[in-house]
A and B are shown apart, each in its own frame.
Chain A
Amino acid sequence: MKKKLMCLALAVVIILTVAGCSDNASTDTGADAQEETVKIAVMAPLTGNLANIGEQFKQGVELKAKQVNDGGGVNGKKVEIAYFDDKGDAKEAANIAQLIVNDKDIVAVIGSYTSSVCFAATPIFDQVSLSMVTPSASNPDLIKDNKVMFKMWTGFDVYAPMIADLAITELNAKDIAVIYAYNDWGIGVKDYFVERANKLGGNIVAEEVVYDGDKDFKTQLTGIKAKNPDTLVILTYYAEGAVIVQQAKALGIDAQYVASGTFVEDQFLEMAGEYAEGMYVINEFVADDPRPSVKEFVDAYKEEFNGELPGNYQGNSYDALGAIVHAYENSGETREKVNEGLHNLKDYQGISGSLTFQGQEIIKPQVFVQLKDGEWSYYKESPVR
């Protein structure tokens, strides 16, 4: 009896795979199953440690999809989104990439969050000219050797030097301590920042490293305190950043904080807003941005999501879907045509202005943002590099 059950179970699992695999995604943008649709995949960490990021991608995409569909769709067809959970894992990414490739209706992909997932997926997408627009990954190597990866978030080779400008030219920093995340993003940002800072005559007195998920930075901060900096540049994700500013206060460090745009998150304010008052960051946009295109986006987002404020991930995934739809409309409806359309994307009106893909990445104007009275607020536009 038991053995029969076992074999039965095995057979069921196999049948499940064969049947289940061909139709694995969930869709929810009000598109009718009967109608022809424009199917776009979203590949993101929807569960696991990075699930809250995946959620933000989803929000941005959903808002844009809704707006497009309410406006009559694309070429008369509604946008349909298929979500795929990569859990931030490269191995899963490869499997999912194959799943997506085999769904012939999918014309483009939005995703993913981490560079490692993107690296695993791009060779597979490259073979079939399936475009992948990432709202967040920043590794410069991603766009080498393939024709399908498009980076939505302006590369750190562009904004990291701007952080140096912000600190030294705007805020008159003299003795600068840098604390940065030990991952492919943080190391890159730090290198470009230091290079520019040195050119501008800044004095880097300390460079300390923190690990993702690590919570104790007393050692690094004690070392930094000993060097007596007037400015502390924090190049980490917001979770570590929140702990850093608290522990810095605990240790009695008194310096001007300058950081990267990863801190513009409600959660950061919740966790450590009071400790970071007066901090300046570089970002692509901010809620009280004077630019009308930003205001429009922020208002639409607040209306859709109960007054919440959108962040970079929502903004970039919103623009990613917009860019794909634009390419579909103007260049053609096949994967190759969409790919061509993205390569040739010029002056597309995104949230923060006119977007053009140059060599598969976009250079957007950046703004300086200040943490004032517990809120992130617009300071001024960054001088364009």
Chain B
Amino acid sequence: MLIQQIVNGITLGSIYALMAIGYAMVFSLLELINFSHGQIFMLGAFLGLYTMRLISGNFIVILGVAVVLTALAGICVERIAVSPLRKKGAPKVSSLITTLSMGIIIENLVLVICGSRFQGFKPPFEVKYFDIYGIRISSLEIVIIALALSLMVVISLFMYKTKYGMAIRGCSQDIETTSLMGVNVNIFIAATFGVGSMLAAAAGILIGYYYNFVEPSMGAIVGMKGFTASVLGGRGMISGGVLGGFVLGILESLGTMVFTAQYRDTIAFTVLILILLFKPDGLLGKRRDK
């Protein structure tokens, strides 16, 4: 029973981790929190659904199309709600309100266009179940964890081994110097939002498969938990986000076992508040990605 719960926790945790990376990237760059990230996640899931219905049932196609379109949406959010404020030098709080508003707009647009019903979203491959030492795990869960981990590896490679990645990290260290060195900072900021949104879209599609449906309000809570995970691990750090995601997922699953399922969401919020109060730099403690 305990191990089973931990397996559940790891599956959910990998989703939280994907979300947390998006928050971490934006935070490390601009020291602000993108409150529309949860709705971007939901948008990715819906785009996946419609790709499946209108274009092709092929998993790669679904993932590809949804991810690219969601990245565009993420960049729109940056252009509309973030960069004008950055240019004006407005207080960080303002971008909190604007990104929050963008999130509400996205959620309600999807609500109006697609309706509030739960829409079925079956994975394009048959799900098999395995019994290993009394623990039941499905092929879907394995795919989710594997895919999430691979995406994390890809992102890390991207950030540490490629030119673009280094440029983004340079921006996060010191925007002025980097721009003085001839880097077009705006493009990289937009790119960061884009990449974060891609991860969110992938997470959205995976969650859609996991529960077999999508609906417009699925983003809000996951967004909050993804954010909690990034704070838990260490704001502004990708590795922190990953760690925080898995830790939160496991804490949540164990917590529902101990305190009953009623408290699932309360656990996440309590963790958030406790971390903010007592260890605001998160588990990994350091300030920024080096």
Closest 4 CB pairs of A and B: A219-B256, A51-B116, A52-B117, A215-B211
Q: How distant is B120 from chain A, measured CB to nearest CB, in Å?
A: 5
With beta carbons under 8 angstroms apart, the residue of A182, A250, A271 that contacts B120 is A271
Q: How distant is B103 from chain A, measured CB to nearest CB, in Å?
A: 16
| Interface: B153 (CB within 8 A) | no
Closest residue of A by beta carbon distance from B7: A218
A214 touches B264 (CB 8 A): yes
A242 touches B213 (CB 8 A): yes
| Interface: A209 (CB within 8 A) | yes
B261 touches A219 (CB 8 A): yes
A49 touches B217 (CB 8 A): yes
With beta carbons under 8 angstroms apart, the residue of B1, B117, B129, B256 that contacts A250 is B129
| Interface: A383 (CB within 8 A) | no
A210 touches B261 (CB 8 A): yes
- Can you offer 13 A-B residue contacts whose CB atoms are under 8 A? A47-B112, A49-B216, A52-B116, A208-B261, A214-B261, A218-B4, A218-B5, A218-B253, A219-B256, A219-B257, A239-B118, A250-B127, A252-B129
With beta carbons under 8 angstroms apart, the residue of A216, A217, A226, A271 that contacts B213 is A271
Residues in B with CB closer than 8 Å to A252 are 129, 131, 136
Q: A210-B261, A219-B261, A243-B212 are in contact. Are A226 and B1 (CB under 8 A)?
A: yes
B1 touches A216 (CB 8 A): no
Question: Whole-angstrom distance between the alpha carbons of A48 and B117 in the complex?
Answer: 10
Which B215-271 residues sit within 8 Å CB-CB of chain A? Answer: 215-218, 253, 256-257, 260-262, 264
Residues in A with CB closer than 8 Å to B260 are 209
Residues in B with CB closer than 8 Å to A216 are 8, 12, 211, 264
Taking residues whose C-beta sits less than 8 angstroms from the other chain, chain B's interface range is: 20 to 34
Closest residue of B by beta carbon distance from A217: B261
B8 touches A218 (CB 8 A): yes
Count how many chain A residues have C-beta atoms less than 8 Å from C-beta atoms of the other chain: 32
Closest residue of B by beta carbon distance from A213: B217
Residues in A with CB closer than 8 Å to B129 are 250, 252
Q: Mark B53-81, 1 if CB is under 8 A from A, else 0.
A: 00000000000000000000000000000
Residues in A with CB closer than 8 Å to B212 are 242-243, 246, 271-272
Which A185-238 residues sit within 8 Å CB-CB of chain B? Answer: 208-211, 213-220, 222, 226
Residues in B with CB closer than 8 Å to A251 are 136
| Interface: B84 (CB within 8 A) | no
B120 touches A270 (CB 8 A): yes
Question: Whole-angstrom distance between the alpha carbons of A298 and B249 in the complex?
Answer: 47
Residues in A with CB closer than 8 Å to B256 are 219
B5 touches A222 (CB 8 A): yes
| Interface: A267 (CB within 8 A) | yes
Closest residue of B by beta carbon distance from A271: B120
Question: Whole-angstrom distance between the alpha carbons of A32 and B171 in the complex?
Answer: 67
Residues in B with CB closer than 8 Å to A250 are 127, 129, 136, 138
| Interface: B111 (CB within 8 A) | yes
With beta carbons under 8 angstroms apart, the residue of B1, B4, B115, B127 that contacts A52 is B115
Residues in A with CB closer than 8 Å to B253 are 218-219
Residues in A with CB closer than 8 Å to B127 are 250
Give the interface centre of B1, B12, B112, B131 by most chain A CB atoms within 10 Å.
B1
B117 touches A222 (CB 8 A): no
Question: Whole-angstrom distance between the alpha carbons of A242 and B122 in the complex?
Answer: 13
Other A-B pairs, 13, CB within 8 Å; known A50-B116, A222-B5: A49-B111, A49-B217, A208-B261, A209-B260, A214-B264, A216-B12, A216-B211, A218-B5, A219-B256, A219-B257, A239-B215, A267-B118, A271-B118
Question: Whole-angstrom distance between the alpha carbons of A221 and B4 in the complex?
Answer: 11
Residues in A with CB closer than 8 Å to B218 are 215
Question: Whole-angstrom distance between the alpha carbons of A239 and B211 in the complex?
Answer: 11
